[in-house]
Structure 1
Amino acid sequence: MYFMKKFYRQYHWKLTLTIKKSKVGSPFELCVFIDLPNANSLTPKSSPNFAGLVLIFAHGNAALYAKYLSQPDAVVNGSVNLTTCMQRLDINLNLNDLNNLNNSGLKPEQITIVVALSNGTGIDLEDDGLVIANYWVFDEGPGHNHDYVNWTQKYIENIYKARTKSVPGVN
Structure 2
Amino acid sequence: MFRGFAKIGLLGFGGVGPIARHVIVREQKWLSEKDYATLLGVGKVLPGANTVNVAVMLGDRYHGMRGSIVAVSGLLVLPMLVLIVLAVLYQFLDQNPYFNAALQGSACAAAGMVIGMGLKMASKIDLQAHHIVAGLATIALVVWLKFSLLQVVAVMMPLAIVANFILARRHGHTS
TM-score (structure 2 length as normaliser): 0.26
RCO (CA 8 Å, sep 6+): is it higher in 1 or 2? Answer: 1
TM-score (structure 1 length as normaliser): 0.26
User: Which structure's residues are more often strand, by fraction?
Assistant: 1
Larger Rg: 2
